[in-house]
Structures are given as C-alpha cells and as structure tokens.
Amino acid sequence: MILENNLLKLVRSLSRNLLSVGIILPLGLGTNFLMNLVLARTMPVASFGVFSYVLTLANTIALGTSLGFSTSMMRFIPEYQIKNEFSLLNGLITISFKLIVISSILIGSILLLLSWLLPSENLYAQYFIYTSLLIIPLTIDVWRESSVRGLHQIAKAILPRQVLLPAIILCFTLLFKFSSENSLLVFYFFILFFLEIIALWQFWNLLPISAKTQPPLYETMFWLKTSIPMGVSGLIRLGINRWDILLVGTYLGMEEAGIYTAAAYISLLVSLAMRILNLVCGPLISQIYHNKQIQTLRLIMNFSISFGGIIGGFFLGFAFMFSDNILSFFGEGYQKADTALKILAVGQFINLITGPASLLLLMAGYERSESSAVLLSGILSIILGVILIPQYGINGAAITTAITISIGRIFIYIKYKSLIFRLGQNL
C-alpha cells in the first residue's frame, strides 16, 4: 500500500513537471532555433559564425567557472531539504555563489589580458573581449538554474535564459536587424545581464524561509570535492557537443563554423526528450535515491528510457528525411551541412536512448566514475577532432562528435546497470 501511494505521488509529480517543462523547454528550443535561423538569414555567414563561436566559447568556460555547482546544487538542495538541514543549505548557497563569482571574474580577467597582449589586427583579441564579458552572467545563470531545479521549480529555472533571452534577441533582430556581430554580442550581453538580475531575485524568493534565517554552516571542502568532479564531467560533456564548433572555426574559418553551427543546432532537437527528462527527473532521482526507494528508482529510469526512445526515434526520422529542406531555411550555402546533420542526429539519438544514466550516477554519489567515462570521451573527442576535421571538414567534426557521444553514453549506461544491480542485491 505504501509503495502504491509512493508510485501515485511519483506519477503525479512526473506528470505535472513533464507538462510544464514539456511546454517551456520546446518553446525555448523553438525560439532559440528561430533566433539562429533569422540571424543566419540576415547576417553574413562569417558574422553568424563569429557569434556562434563566441557564445560556444563563453558557455563552455562558464560551465568550468561554475566549479561543478551547476550540477551539484541539484543534488545538495533536495538532500538538505529532506533532512531539514537548513543551516547547511544557507551555507551552501552563500559560499557557492561567492566562489563562482570569484572564479568567473578571474578567468574573465585572464581573457582580457590575453586580448590586450594579442596584436590589434588579430581577430581573436576581439573574440576574447566579448567572451570575458559574457562569462560572469553565464556562470551565475548555470548556478542559479541548477539551484532552482533543486527546488523543483523546473519551468522557472529554464525560463530566463532558454526562453526569454532568445525571444528578445529574435524580436529585435526582426525589427531592427544587427549590422554586425559586434552590435549583436553587446546587445546579447546587456539583455542577459538584465534577465539574470531578475532571475536571482526570483530565486531568493523561492528559497524556504528557514534557509534564509538559520545561521549558515559551511562544508566548503566537501562541497568542492563533490562538485568539481561533477563540473569536469559537465564541462567535457558540453565540450563533446560544442568543441566541434570551436575546432571548425579554428581550423576551417568562421564561415564554415557558421554552416556547421546550423547542423549542430538542428541535431540538438533530436535530444529534446532527454533534456526534458533530465530537467524533470534530476531532483526526483536525488530525492528517491536518498529515500532508498530502489523499486521506484528503477521504475523512473525505465520510464525515462522508454519515453526518450519513442520521442527520439520520431525526431531522428524527421532529421533524416528533411535535413536538406531544414538547412535551406538558414539560407544559401547551408545545405552543405546535410551529411553532417545526419551523422550528428545519430549520435544524439544514441545519447537519448541510454536514458538519464549519468544523472543517477551523479545523484548517487558516483560522480568520479561518471567523470572518468566522460573524461575519456572528451580526450577522444579532441584527438579525433584534430585528426578528422582538417581532413574531412565539417563531416569530420560530425563523425568526431557522434563517435564520442556514443562511446561515452554506452560506457555510462553499463555503469548504471551495474549500480542498479548492486542496489537490488542490497535490498
């Protein structure tokens, strides 16, 4: 009877969160896709390539400067709420915010110094300046998003940067158009900064009163020891999906980077179901695991894998049948990425059908095992990229990404099955 009640509560919670995120996240992805589509059609291909290159670099660095709190907050916050350890929750929020701000300022300053040392005619000096400006608000946002997700406010977590930001950029592009990537990046920075201030105020209001009033307790070294491996894993995971754009821009030029970016954005639609499931299931997996509800945990994982496979299969077929038509919407010349898009879609599908196995390993305290698997994939990604991209161009980048995603996800899935078996044996 108790198990049935728990399952009923789980189904209600999943249904409610899937409904809200199932609306908000596709809306955000759709808006982001339209934003990039309009930018690609209204800007020179090289300018769109610069914009994509700078955003990719800034997002990658921001995940690193978040020191892993971009993932661990989603684990610690539900845990401390369940245990009513609000002093630790207060201390966690206070010290983690200070650490990520200091980290982002430090790395941003280093990039500014590099831009000053480079010759003025070197275009990378300009790229580093824009990247340094974006790092601080992006770092704060990934920390805030993970924290709000830990409070089970999924829609509020993803709304500011993943929905409102691309919507505002899209509207201004349609109304005024941007003459260059410079004006676009400056505008992007100011809108992001403004939205982040509002989002932080909202996060503060979402916190339990006890988490704001009880005196803080600090376990800083433990938090860092736990978070940094998560951060390394998350950084490399993002890198596997984003380093290809950076390598294409570096080896082949910004015009090729712009063309490849179109294929990369479309391929990410294949993993839409996985992103929804990760947003919804992450805090639930942490809560269920810490409550030792192994049968419920197995149920939610099986549901996630089945749901992801069905939705992912639909998107994969769509990408294969209409890749050339979709790419043509970006403008003349983008159809060159047709083969690359199909290769990327296969890699993303494999990513999806393995379910949220990484999340379970992270939430269960196996962050080092998960990080090791992702680290090996990241190293392989760099090696293959350096070899294949100069020889096969954007198709080489797509092959690199698809192979590394597939190998990493299969390895993590095997680890997940082993963990579930051991947990079942201990019942």
Question: 420: closest CA among 351, 366, 367, 373?
Answer: 366
Per DSSP, 163 falls in state I
Section 368-375 average pLDDT:
72
Section 131-152 average pLDDT:
90
Name the burial class of residue 9, with classes exposed (0-12), middle (13-18) and buried (19+) by CB atoms within 10 angstroms of its CB.
exposed
- Name which of 59-63, 68-72, 345-349, 423-427 the model is least confident about: 423-427
- pLDDT, tens only, 60-111: 889 889 988 888 888 888 888 888 888 888 899 999 999 999 999 999 999 9
Percent of the chain with pLDDT strictly greater than 70: 84
Residue with more model confidence, 78 or 358:
78
When the pLDDT of each residue in the chain is averaged and rounded to a whole number, the result is 81
Give pTM, 2 decimals: 0.74
pLDDT for position 3: 45
Range of the domain at 410: 2-425
Section 382-400 average pLDDT:
91
Question: 89: closest CA among 196, 235, 229, 203?
Answer: 203
* 3-state SS, residue 147: helix
Section 334-363 average pLDDT:
81
Query: Could you identify the residue written with the tokens 């970016």?
Result: 261
E strand intervals along 54-134: none
52 Cβ neighbours under 8 A, 6+ residues apart: 36, 245, 249, 257, 258, 261
Section 268-277 average pLDDT:
67
Question: Which pLDDT band, with edges at 50, 70 and 90, does 16 fall under?
Answer: low
pLDDT for position 2: 46
Section 167-187 average pLDDT:
87
Question: 128: closest CA among 104, 154, 110, 149?
Answer: 110
pLDDT for position 102: 95
pLDDT for position 124: 78
Instruction: Give CA–CA dist 183/177, Å, rounded.
Output: 10
The answer, yes or no, to whether residue 410 has pLDDT greater than 60, is yes
* 3-state SS, residue 337: helix
pLDDT for position 22: 57
pLDDT for position 192: 93
Question: Which pLDDT band, with edges at 50, 70 and 90, does 250 fall under?
Answer: confident
Instruction: Give CA–CA dist 55/165, Å, rounded.
Output: 13
Question: 320: closest CA among 301, 304, 297, 343?
Answer: 343
Instruction: Give CA–CA dist 209/202, Å, rounded.
Output: 14
The answer, yes or no, to whether residue 143 has pLDDT greater than 60, is yes
Measure the CA dihedral 213/219/220/226, to 10°: -120
Instruction: Give CA–CA dist 271/169, Å, rounded.
Output: 24
The answer, yes or no, to whether residue 327 has pLDDT greater than 90, is no
Query: Could you identify the residue written with the tokens 């009880």?
Result: 214
How many folded domains does the chain comprise? 1
Take residue 2 and report the two structure tokens written for it: 């108790």
pLDDT for position 427: 47
Question: 306: closest CA among 274, 281, 279?
Answer: 274
Section 45-69 average pLDDT:
88
Per DSSP, 207 falls in state S
Residue with more model confidence, 254 or 358:
254
- pLDDT, tens only, 207-238: 888 888 888 888 889 989 888 877 777 777 77
Provide the phi-psi class of 20: left if phi over 0, else alpha when psi is between -120 and 50, else beta.
Answer: alpha
